[in-house]
Amino acid sequence: MSDRHIAVIVLAAGLGTRMKSAKPKVMHPLAGRPMVRHLLETVEQLEPEKIVCVIGEDMDGVRETVAPVPCVIQKERLGTGHAVLAAEKTLAGFSGDILILYGDSPLISFETLSAHKTARAAGHAVAVLGFDAEEPGAYGRLIMNASDTLEAIIEAKDATPEQAAISFCNSGVMMADSEVLWKLLNRVGNDNAKGEYYLTDIVALARADGLTCAAVEGDEYELVGINDRVELALAETLVQAHLRMRAMVGGATLTDPETVYFSYDTKIGQDVVIGPHVVFGPGVTIEDNVEIRAYSHIEAAHVKPGAIIGPFARLRPGADIGPDVHIGNFVEVKNAVIEEGAKANHLAYIGDARVGAGANIGAGTITCNYDGYFKTHTDIGAGAFIGSNTALVAPVKIGDGASIGAGSVITKDVAADSLALERSEQKELAGAAKKIRERKAAKKAKSKN
């Protein structure tokens, strides 16, 4: 690869009209983060000298998302060539190659960009990235000449039948020498049906000046543009397939891979078994030898070796699950540390808490951590036993080895190794149930007469 300096322009001013959304197109998420962030992560691997993002007015959300990458405003949306020119002042003084990418085409790989850069380094004034389309449709066609260099880009509506039969299509991604790019772009006109300035016109201008242009072939799935919700779903499918493959190659077993959904940053260890219909939100780390059973949802949580999660478990942000912990069905954990060997096997809520090593949380237990104004902490000691249907009203501390009787509402600290009970005395009235039944039955019979 050439050692020439490189700058990158990311075009991200699209409104996403076909998305039917108030959200800018590039802000729609893939695997848990805006699509433009996927692209920027790949771009950063090129180690460019400069990156600039072209956005529209009132796109502060995009500006914040791409930070610290600087943004420039395209005040009027007058075509791709016009958008690139919006970055000219920001890149003034830069000498090298300028790569132009699209924020709504986030799946392009580092390997494809590297091949693209190599083609530009061969001495061509402009290098265009293309793909062999299964259905060329409305894509512009890349017309190659006898020297196997790029002669022209022909828009589908302008193509002859012979040109329309060509399946080698334009992705829109280009790389050009900085000096050549600005000279050519400033000559591009807008004498077309839309009155716009098209970036693709620089190929014809370069050829007219006797310069050569290259076309590099990439995979179609990498170069897919996302313009509507259907294409967004297709891109999500492609991203998830990659993430599932990465997890399995890394040593995890997915018993029904197509039903498991990862976030872009999910970290999965070796000998992890993931059941069907498991969803990972951002910020999850799963260490070795963990089993995650079906229909569990995990986000911003850390699960340590040997733990068993689910089925139907929910780990929310701040859940720190220790080694060999069991979190069972319909148990929710939020902002809580569950220490080694502790168990909460069914129907519990543990929030803003510490559960000590080896403690047992009975069914129906809840930590009452929010009073409508403030969240407070519950501390459950090592080896403690919390009986079923217990409410622990925070702030409260349950000592090591303490036991809480089922059905208790605990509002005060419980000392280590103590037994705490909080319930009314049970009373039994002999024969009362029979008398009530007879009275009710007689009343019901009378009402029918």
Structure tokens at 239: 């991203």
Do 9 and 84 form a contact (C-beta atoms < 8 A)? yes
Do 402 and 415 form a contact (C-beta atoms < 8 A)? yes
Strand partners, 293: none
Give phi and psi for 182, each to the nearest 5.
Answer: -65, -35
Active-site positions?
Answer: 346
Strand ranges in 197-356 using DSSP code E only, listed in sequence order: 213-218, 252-254, 267-268, 272-274, 279-280, 285-286, 291-292, 297-298, 302-303, 308-309, 314-315, 320-321, 326-338, 343-355
Interatomic CA distance for residues 325 and 318, integer angstroms: 16
Q: Cα separations (Å) of 221 from 108, 153, 196, 396?
A: 8, 21, 28, 55
Interatomic CA distance for residues 311 and 128, integer angstroms: 50
Interatomic CA distance for residues 386 and 408, integer angstroms: 9
Looking up tokens 């016009």, which residue turns up? 82
Interatomic CA distance for residues 232 and 223, integer angstroms: 13
Looking up tokens 């992705």, which residue turns up? 171
In single-letter form, the type of residue at position 262 comes to F
Interatomic CA distance for residues 333 and 314, integer angstroms: 6
